[in-house]
Chains A and B, each alone.
Chain A
Amino acid sequence: MEITISQDDGRVPVTVFHLQGDLADEEPLWSQAQQAYVDGTRYLLLDMRKVPSITSAGLRAIHEVYQLLRSDAPEESDEVVRKGIASGSYTSGHLKLLKPSKTAMKSLSVAGYDMFLDIYKKYAEAIASF
């Protein structure tokens, strides 16, 4: 797994992780995300156009990143998320995904991640959504 990082602007500054290769380990996504968070990232787009598949370890990494990004976001407190999930109105405002492959999408769906992470087909739409 290789990760290159870029910055873009929606209504907020957005960090973009361009992932390349199978997401089969927690590293390096988790460590790169931690560093980005320390450096000020609060809105992250995972560009998954070059990710053929995601294993359970990769899913774990995505979940850890999701938890990290909402850790100091009061609008995404446990209570708010729980209510939003129950009403079907909640998706993360801090972590979004760009165009996973069919197989990667299957892993995300099996794990229920498509219920709380917005998934976009076009880069510009993904950035504008933040």
Chain B
Amino acid sequence: MDVITARYPVAEKKDLAVIRRFTEAVMAAIGVEQEIASELVLAVHEATANVIIHGYKDQPGCVVIEIAQAGKDLQIKLRDQAPTFDPTTVPTPDVSVPLGQPPYSGMGVHMMRSFTDELRYRVTDEGENELILVKFDAIQT
């Protein structure tokens, strides 16, 4: 399995654009189909934005992204040292009526779920959050 890793020791909100560009570049390099690549870039953006904004409460913090290819499948691991939080438990927002305050607390996770095939979470042995985004058949032959 080929793994490409990027480590952002002091990631902040302004680094989200850099993280998007890194993810885009890796997707292009390993031959991920364009539409799927764009969606995965968004999923990674939402995951890292949640970590930086909610996990680290807009303070600099470490974010590690590992992108691994296994045949035609893609697995993206995001690790961080923010207080443990399992985003897979966030309920799907009700998007049926656009009135009042929209349910944005769950929108990022909703997008992650929509743009991937699997979303898995665990706390590592080191006590870090690890979120795994999986997309099957992402890579063109």
Contacts and interface: CB of A to CB of B under 8 A. Distances in A.
Contacts of B107: 56, 59-60, 111
B108 to A, nearest CB: 4
Contacts of B115: 106, 110
A6 B99 CA distance: 28
Interface string B102-141: 1010011011001100000000000000000000000000
A59 B20 CA distance: 17
A11 B35 CA distance: 37
A13 interface: no
A130 interface: no
B42 A55 contact: yes
A66 interface: yes
Contacts of A57: 49
Contacts of B104: 56, 59-60
Contacts, number: 68
Nearest to B104: A60
A94 to B, nearest CB: 12
Contact of A113 (B42, B98, B114): B98
A90 B45 CA distance: 32
B99 A53 contact: no
Nearest to B112: A56
Interface in B44-64: 45-46, 49
Contacts of B100: 78
A112 B96 contact: yes
B114 A24 contact: no
B16 interface: yes
Contacts of A55: 42, 45-46, 49, 108, 111
A22 B104 CA distance: 19
Interface of A: 22, 24, 52-53, 55-57, 59-60, 63, 66, 78, 81-82, 85, 102-103, 106-107, 110-113, 115-116
Interface of B: 16-17, 20, 35, 38-39, 41-42, 45-46, 49, 95-100, 102, 104, 107-108, 110-111, 114-115
Closest 10 CB pairs of A and B: A112-B95, A103-B38, A56-B107, A56-B108, A110-B114, A116-B98, A63-B102, A78-B99, A60-B104, A85-B97
5 contacts: A24-B16, A56-B46, A63-B102, A66-B98, A110-B111
